[in-house]
Copies of this chain bind each other. A is one copy, B any other.
Amino acid sequence: MLYFSCDYAEGCHPKVLEELTKTNMVSTQGYGEDEFCDAAKAKIKEYINCPEADIYFLVGGTQTNQVVIASMLSDYDGVIAAETGHVAAHEAGAIEYSGHKVITIPQHEGKIAPDELKNYLQVFYADANHEHMVNPGMVYISYPTEYGTLYTKQELEAISAICNEYKIPLFIDGARLAYGLAAADDMTMADIAKLSDVFYIGGTKVGALFGEAVIFTKGNTPKHMITQIKLHGALLAKGRLLGVQFGALFTDDLYMKMGKNAVDMANIIKEDLLSKNYQLYMENPTNQIFVIMENSKLEAFGKEVAYGFWEKYDDNHTVIRIATSWATTKEDVNELRKVL
């Protein structure tokens, strides 16, 4: 069986496992107060060129979104997101469970449009009844988006400027950050740090067993952050596991190399698909490929390839997702070719 269903089907990159193994019997303090976490934070700060960054390691993506959003918002605040944003659509209501509304605005290939964001805020404040409505207290975007698309630098600068104008933090969900940056020709992780107020570097989908690094970039860490993480049940006892893993990811540029591998493999597959006249549901430059497949072909295909169901396209077609990852090899891609 070929696995192209998602980018978290395997364990971790061998280098990460090597570090976990090497450090396994070292005794440390719990809860992230250890030397491995300290070292990993230092590496990340340098990599993103942001010495004032304050970094917390968490376990998973939904958890990270819930913790970051709830800890930065007040009770009266909601978070603005694209209607297709992960927090709006696929987190089982984790944000609402923490008491906050996800205020949705339209998506365009998974992205919010700066002018529509600005318009939302203008209309909100112009409404004489706005104190009876949820206060827009944060903007959430994902880079890359849930459709694998990327904001241009200009778009991100525009969104960042609007957030500054309205004094609303901009939160960038980087669950697949490596796959976005590897595909972008105009964006670095330092740019992400500069343009956001808080973002996270996804490890779970990029070569770690698990782990997301949350970075408050502007001296804006919420108070009692450890207590806040704990009350969400998100404080890992053996926090050192996160430090060890992120230390490995940020050694010898491993994180970005893994990102590049996934994008390279995806590009080969896309070319192949187009040459074979498959229709893409939505184009994007990153590691997720959305293809429209005939239902009649899907059963056979599914016996050889694990793919992701995305949505029904019409009565005879389905949109499926083929995802590459840090773990995808040329051999995998060649095998897939034979089946396509």
Contacts and interface: CB of A to CB of B under 8 A. Distances in A.
Given A6-B30, A63-B234, A237-B60, A134 B210 contact: no
A96 B100 contact: yes
Number of copies: 4
B231 A93 contact: yes
Contacts of A64: 233
A295 to B, nearest CB: 13
Contacts of A223: 74, 76
Interface size class of chain A, counting residues whose CB lies under 8 Å from the partner chain: 35 or more
Contacts of A30: 6, 8-9
A41 interface: no
Interface stretch (A65-73, A155-163, A261-269, A279-287): A65-73
Contacts of A25: 10-11, 327
Contacts of A230: 62, 91-92, 94, 131-132
A75 B66 contact: no
A152 interface: no
Interchain residue pairs A-B with the least CB separation, the first 9: A63-B233, A3-B27, A11-B24, A92-B230, A93-B134, A9-B27, A96-B101, A76-B227, A92-B231
19 contacts: A8-B237, A8-B238, A9-B28, A17-B20, A27-B327, A59-B236, A60-B235, A60-B237, A75-B228, A76-B231, A91-B230, A92-B132, A93-B101, A93-B133, A96-B99, A104-B104, A132-B227, A135-B224, A209-B241
